[in-house]
Each structure stands twice: as C-alpha cells, then as structure tokens.
Chain A
C-alpha cells in the first residue's frame, strides 16, 4: 500500500529531514507517527501526498512512485489520498456542504452523485444539521469534522492526518478519534502524525517514531515514547 525505500530529503537550506527512511504500511492499517518537533515528522507526512518530493529514494503509494511522478500528475495522486490538517484548511467562503462537495467537483462527479455522497459523509461525521453554516460559525471540532468529511468523501484508500487533534480540546479530540476509528474499520488505511500521548496509549495501533530524520522505533500496539 505505502512503501518508502531509502528516502532521503534535504531542504535547500541544508536541513536533512529524512535520512534514509524505509517503511512498509499495509492496506487497512492504522499507524501513528510520533516524534519530537523538528524531527522530520511533518516532512514524512508531506512526502506522502507529494507536497514535498524526496531528494532521493522511492515512495510508492497505490503503485504510484511519487519520486518519479511528474508535477502534472500530482492532482490525480491527491485524489486517491485524503488529507486532514491540524488547521483544518477549509475554504472560508464556502459553507459546510460546499466545502465537502468541492473535493468531488474537482474530479467532475455528477451533481446527483455529489449530493448523495456529501450527505452520506456528513451523516457519518454528524454534521447533518449544519450543512448551510460557514467555517467561522463552527467550533474547532466541527471544522475538523468537515475537513475529515472532505478527505473521505471520494472514498480514498489512504487518509493522511497531520496532527488532526492538535488544535482541539481533549473531549473533542476523542470524538474525532472515534470518527477515524470508524473510517479505519471500513478498510481505509490511516497514517496519523500526533503529539497526543493519551490517544496513542489508549487506542492502541502501530506506532512509528521519527527522530533525526530516521525511524527509530516501529512497534505494533506500541506506546507513545521517544528519547528527546
């Protein structure tokens, strides 16, 4: 499903954010990516949806090699991956419904399909009552639900989440995690970078620790822990 082979990433300013990463993530897995700030966690995540390209090495997702992927093809890769951000990244001028529908308009789905899929996914995240509201009228948790709905509306095989609970209070964080669990239960692979120790230690899944641009630990059902 997701394979990284000898991935090396050096930024123009000389920072090495990935120093030979090797990893394999299987279909349907739920993986936490943990590690201190500035350890290369974000780069690890960003390389998966090709916001950053590796300097060398191969990243293969759904059989597509991101290292050799031409820029023109990047939009088509992103349609197979759902991405959820810490800061939600919703379009402020669009309401809840339009924000979610946008991901389907991009791939030119029919209006009938869009209506059905958006309503289904908004029911899944529990926002049926707020479809006409704009992002600034929603709480942080609600905005993150919209963002999750948008990321899964075209049924991607992988959802990548970059600290999805980073801006949320603990109760809301648990609600969001429940949604991710449900998505994972439907067979979607989830890769989640997080700083939330409680969540990692409670909802046990595979834990990958990234430190100094390397994977220093990779444990199924592991705990949140790293040398820092």
Chain B
C-alpha cells in the first residue's frame, strides 16, 4: 500500500467518526462503560492478588529443636534444613530469644522460666514455593533432633484453597466482562457498518479491494477503542491515586497493602488502552467481514 493511500485511509477513518457522530458516541460510550467496569475489577483483583502474595510470603515453618540437643547438634540440624530441597531461607532463633518472645506475649509471670528455660532453639524456615510448605515440613520432621514442626497445619491448606478459588473466580469474571464488552462493541460497530452497507457495496463495484474497504473501518475501530479508554484511564488513575493517598498510611501496619501507584497505574492504563484498541479492531473486523462478499 502506498503512503498516500494510507493517509487517505487515515483521513477517511477520521471523517467517518465525525459523519456518524451519533454512532461514534454510542460505540465510545459502550467501550467507556465496559472498560471502566473491567478496569475497576482488574484493580481490585490485582490488589487481592497482592494480598494473597503477602499472605503466602508470610507462611513459614517453625522447627523447634530438641531442648536436650547441644549447640553442635542444632547447628547440624540448621545446616541440614538449609540443604533441604525447596527451602528458601532459614532463620535461627536461640532458646532465650524464644522465651523473650513468649514473655512479651504472655506476660511477666513467665519470667520464672529464666532460671531453667524449657524451650528448644527454633529455626524459622521459608519455602521457595509457599504451596510446598506442608511437604517440606513433613520432611524436616524426620530429621534428628527435631522436637516439633509447626506450620499452621490445616489452616494453610485452607487459606491456599480460598485464595486459589478467589483468583479463579476473579479471572473468570474478568474474562466474562471482557467478552461482554467485545460483544457489545462489535454489535455497535456492526450497526454503523450496516448503515453503510450500500457504501461498501459501491466501493466494491468500482473496483476497491477488500483491504481498501476494510482498513478505514479497522482504523475507525482503533479510534473508537482509544476514545473509549480515555475516561476509564483518567477515572481509574485519579481514583486509585486518591484512594492510595488516603488509605496507604492507615494500612501501614496491616497485612493487606495497596499496590503502590507507580508502576501500577501505568500498567493498568496500558492494559485498558490495549483492551480498548483490541476490542475496537476485533469488533470492526468481525463486522466488516460479512459485507465484503459483493
């Protein structure tokens, strides 16, 4: 295609937006509403995903060494645990440090135990993949000088199950929304094209190739997609920024943290823009295809 022809297609696509201003308005509104919904939903999903990630990161195995074991035995155990497959890091905490923690949580009465500390040294183990926690814990339990292995048995499995279900449901909902959006937009674009069915027929009769007819419509679809994503991008960017400014300080001590505005807002905007353009192209491609057989 010559550059001049492409410029013509560009010009035609813009003119067409103006000439069919009402249909343009309808299409852009449809894109705007759906992308706004999808965008908000994705923002929520991604934050929940962040929360899930944080929760997973916090999952750890507490290995209590046999209180009767000596320094060397505990060091050997630590070495062995570190070498276990799937272990990310091991943190050593002496029996005295463990007692201090206990006193902190349960009160000064426990000071009695300072004389003869009944606790064992502890190792805090993090798995590379939090989902493998249970398997690793089981393995460590078989090592010598292991007194007890604690990792929130049962609760962790349940937590992971809930998180996974949540993620899947969210994904399905986003896909369903996107599909609805595409359907809506392709229908709206189809109406604009149906209105120009004769136009396309005439183009073909004077010898226009399919691409010659198609390209201005595809470009028009791209503009509709871009126009339709402007408001969702602005609303979500500003909305999320304000929300973050308001909420982030309050959530400082909590497990749940909002994703920082940069790069999150940019990623989200890119995604919305991409979806808008994709929906626009797809919608006009599907709609114009039917009318090219003249």
B interface residues with partner A (beta carbon < 8 Å): 2, 4-5, 8, 19, 198-199, 201-210, 212, 294
Contact = CB atoms under 8 A, between A and B. Distances in A.
Contact of B202 (A77, A79, A89): A89
Interface stretch (A14-22, A106-114, A115-123, A217-225): A106-114
Interface of A: 49, 51, 75-79, 83, 89-93, 102-103, 105-108, 110-111, 150
Contact of A78 (B2, B4, B19, B206): B206
- Nearest first, the 4 A-B pairs at minimum CB distance are A79-B207, A78-B207, A103-B206, A106-B208
Contacts, number: 49
B208 A75 contact: yes
Contacts of B19: 93
**Dominant SS at the B interface?**
helix
A182 B287 CA distance: 42
Contacts of B202: 89-91
B199 A91 contact: yes
24 contacts: A49-B205, A51-B294, A75-B207, A75-B209, A75-B210, A77-B207, A78-B206, A89-B198, A89-B201, A89-B202, A90-B202, A92-B199, A93-B19, A93-B199, A102-B206, A103-B206, A105-B5, A105-B8, A106-B208, A106-B209, A108-B2, A110-B4, A111-B4, A150-B206
Nearest to B196: A93
B208 A83 contact: no
Nearest to A82: B206
Contacts of A107: 207
A148 to B, nearest CB: 13
B206 A106 contact: yes
B18 to A, nearest CB: 10
Indicate the member of B4, B199, B206 with the most A CB atoms within 10 Å. Answer: B206
A106 B199 contact: no
Q: Which of A76, A90, A108, A111 has the most C-beta atoms of chain B within 10 angstroms of its own C-beta?
A: A108
Contacts of A110: 4
B204 to A, nearest CB: 7
Contacts of B8: 105
A119 to B, nearest CB: 18
Contacts of A90: 202
A207 B212 CA distance: 38
Interface centre among A75, A89, A90 (most CB of B within 10 A): A75
B199 A78 contact: no
A18 B201 CA distance: 24
Residue among A90, A102, A105 facing the most chain B CB atoms (10 A cut-off)? A105
Given A75-B208, A75-B209, A93-B19, A106 B198 contact: no
B276 to A, nearest CB: 26
Contacts of A83: 205-206
A51 B293 CA distance: 10
A54 B19 CA distance: 39
B198 A103 contact: no
Contacts of B208: 75, 106
A76 B294 contact: no
Contacts of A102: 203, 206
A76 B210 CA distance: 11
Contacts of B2: 108
Interface centre among A76, A91, A110 (most CB of B within 10 A): A91
Contact of B207 (A76, A89, A91, A93): A76
